[in-house]
């Protein structure tokens, strides 16, 4: 199952068989969502945490709720789990309103950031704990636990206690315990927050693999953009109790629908100006006195004189010692700072207008042989299709 949209690097057309592997049930009119939020509002006294929210999540999705602290994503998850009830609106699971269903009766499990493992029980016993309090026949429990141990690659650690295994292994124990009762929906609240960066990156792919093997619908709450973009089939970006955009990770990154989403997801240059239509889909953005206008392409040209923001990712800005002849846009400036990130470097270039524009370049050469350093005069350039014109 492919996450998001599969695009060939050479631009070749996908075969019919390849198209069938694309996982996009939200674009299928006959697909029914497993979760439906219908005009949901949640208030705590005079504070509105969620405001008139409508959202569909589909079976087998790995869905991410992404946003800054206080945006409402955890409240949304707690309503799904049954720890909070909507003030207005309804939440449906498999077309059934679950408002009156208590948390322990829902076909939903929640995995917390702390993992909440029992320190005195072995890995095997931790996974078996919930099963022993369910209706599962006792004779079937060991087989189910072993199935979960194999799925999460924990068989060699079955007899160990939580303090005798690593943080990543404890995370997998909590995941195995959550999946043991085969819930329709698994909620993950910042599940990788306690892990170091390298282990977190490795565990993201393990989560994806386990989710695909079980076919369980996962909903993850995170403020980590990279985590959401890596694991999710779709991402919902939230702001102040509202969902501002829902789409696949590549579309969120390449085609944000607002300045807020563009600025929140990844690194980006934002330049304010006024747009004037040129011809066809092309517009000029007048942005600084004495600077040539930016030539940009938009499928929906703005009215002449409209206030807009031109958004362009640093990796789409080329940096060179001399002015390129074949680029639609080119500006000169001086390197003010350099962020060395190993595989790439981000150059912060100050323009004559005082604006700072970031450009990224891959570090294909050793440090001593790199072309640019601090205070160098350089040219930044990009095509007319490299950036976006945003009006909101």
**Cβ atoms of 130 and 121 closer than 8 Å:** no
Q: What is the CATH number of the domain that holds 123?
A: 3.40.50.300
Q: The sheet that has 185-189: what strands, in order across it?
A: 108-111, 185-189, 217-222, 62-66, 234-239, 242-247
pTM: 0.84
Tell whether 247 and 277 lie within a shared domain.
no
Whole-number pLDDT of residue 8: 36
Task: Kindly report the length of the chain.
Answer: 392
Tell whether 337 and 215 lie within a shared domain.
no
Q: What is the CA radius of gyration of the chain?
A: 25
Dihedral of alpha carbons 102, 108, 112, 118, sign: positive
368 in helix, strand or coil? helix
Tell whether 38 and 76 lie within a shared domain.
yes
Of 68, 66, 173, 181, nearest to 114 (Cα)? 173
Of 383, 377, 244, nearest to 317 (Cα)? 383
User: Can you say how many angstroms the Cα of residue 378 is from the centroid of all Cα atoms in its chain?
Assistant: 34
CB atoms within 10 A of CB 253: 18
Q: What is the DSSP string of 286-324?
A: E-STTSPPEEEE-SSPPPTTEEEEEEE-GGGSEEESS--
Whole-number pLDDT of residue 21: 62
Tell whether 226 and 279 lie within a shared domain.
no
Tell whether 382 and 284 lie within a shared domain.
yes
Tell whether 81 and 173 lie within a shared domain.
yes
Whole-number pLDDT of residue 3: 46
Structure tokens at 77: 């998850």
| CA–CA distance, 344 with 382 (Å, rounded to integer) | 18
Whole-number pLDDT of residue 5: 37
Whole-number pLDDT of residue 368: 53
Tell whether 177 and 82 lie within a shared domain.
yes
Final residue belonging to a domain, choices 200, 232, 258: 258
User: Each residue's pLDDT tens digit in the chain (392 positions)?
Assistant: 444 433 333 333 433 334 446 788 998 889 999 999 999 999 999 999 999 999 999 999 999 999 998 899 999 999 999 999 999 999 999 999 998 899 988 889 888 767 788 999 999 999 999 888 888 889 999 999 999 899 888 999 999 999 999 888 888 898 888 888 888 999 988 877 767 777 777 778 888 888 888 889 999 998 888 889 999 999 999 999 999 999 999 999 999 999 999 999 989 999 999 999 988 889 999 999 889 999 999 888 788 999 999 999 999 999 999 999 889 999 999 999 999 888 889 999 999 989 999 999 988 776 655 678 899 999 999 999 999 999 98
Final residue belonging to a domain, choices 232, 258, 284: 258
| CA–CA distance, 59 with 78 (Å, rounded to integer) | 19
| CA–CA distance, 316 with 318 (Å, rounded to integer) | 6
Whole-number pLDDT of residue 202: 78
Of 261, 121, 116, nearest to 178 (Cα)? 116
Tell whether 273 and 243 lie within a shared domain.
no
Tell whether 295 and 252 lie within a shared domain.
no
Structural domain count, the chain:
2
| CA–CA distance, 111 with 88 (Å, rounded to integer) | 26
Tell whether 27 and 158 lie within a shared domain.
yes
Tell whether 120 and 251 lie within a shared domain.
yes
Whole-number pLDDT of residue 387: 94
DSSP H or E segment with residue 168: helix 167-179
For residue 83, what are the CA distances in angstroms to 107, 216, 229? 14, 21, 27
Of 217, 188, 182, 215, nearest to 203 (Cα)? 188
Whole-number pLDDT of residue 365: 73
Domain, as residue range, for 351: 267-390
Final residue belonging to a domain, choices 258, 279, 306: 258
Q: What is the CATH number of the domain that holds 380?
A: 2.40.50.140
| CA–CA distance, 300 with 313 (Å, rounded to integer) | 20
Between the CA atoms of 70, 72, 75 and 80, what dihedral angle is there, to the nearest 10 degrees?
-150
Tell whether 172 and 251 lie within a shared domain.
yes
């Amino acid at each position: 199952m492919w996450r998001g949209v599969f695009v060939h690097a050479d631009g070749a057309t996908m075969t019919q068989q390849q198209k069938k592997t694309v996982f996009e049930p939200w674009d299928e009119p006959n697909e029914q969502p497993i979760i439906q939020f219908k005009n949901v509002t949640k208030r705590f006294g005079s504070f509105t945490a969620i405001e008139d929210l409508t959202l569909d999540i589909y079976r087998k999705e790995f869905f991410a709720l992404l946003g800054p602290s206080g945006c409402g994503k955890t409240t949304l998850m707690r309503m799904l789990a049954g720890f909070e009830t909507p003030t207005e609106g309804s939440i449906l699971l498999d077309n059934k309103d679950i408002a009156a269903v208590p948390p322990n009766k829902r076909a939903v499990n929640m995995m917390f950031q702390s993992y909440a493992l029992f320190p005195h029980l072995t890995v095997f016993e931790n996974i078996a704990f919930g099963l022993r309090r369910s209706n599962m026949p006792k004779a079937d429990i060991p087989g189910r636990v072993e199935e979960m141990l194999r799925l999460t690659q924990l068989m060699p650690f079955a007899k160990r206690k939580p303090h005798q295994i690593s943080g990543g292994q404890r995370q997998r124990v909590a995941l195995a315990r959550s999946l043991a009762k085969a819930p329709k929906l698994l909620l993950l609240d910042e599940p990788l927050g306690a892990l170091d960066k390298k282990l977190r990156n490795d565990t993201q792919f393990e989560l994806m693999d386990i989710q695909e093997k079980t076919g369980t619908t996962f909903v993850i709450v995170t403020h980590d953009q990279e985590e959401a973009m890596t694991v999710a089939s779709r991402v919902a970006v939230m702001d102040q109790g509202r969902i501002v955009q829902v789409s696949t990770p590549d579309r969120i990154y390449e085609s944000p629908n607002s300045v807020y989403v563009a600025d929140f997801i990844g690194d980006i240059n934002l330049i304010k100006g006024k747009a004037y239509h040129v011809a066809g889909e092309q517009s000029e953005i007048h942005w600084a006195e004495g600077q040539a206008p930016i030539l940009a392409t938009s499928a929906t040209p703005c009215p002449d004189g409209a206030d807009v923001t031109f958004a362009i990712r640093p990796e789409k800005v080329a940096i060179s010692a001399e002015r390129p002849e074949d680029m639609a846009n080119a500006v000169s400036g001086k390197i003010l700072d350099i962020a060395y990130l190993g595989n790439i470097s981000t150059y912060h270039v100050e323009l004559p207008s005082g604006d700072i524009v970031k450009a990224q370049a891959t570090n294909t050469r050793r440090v001593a042989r790199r072309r640019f350093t601090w205070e160098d005069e350089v040219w930044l350039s990009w095509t007319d299709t490299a950036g976006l014109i945003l009006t909101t």
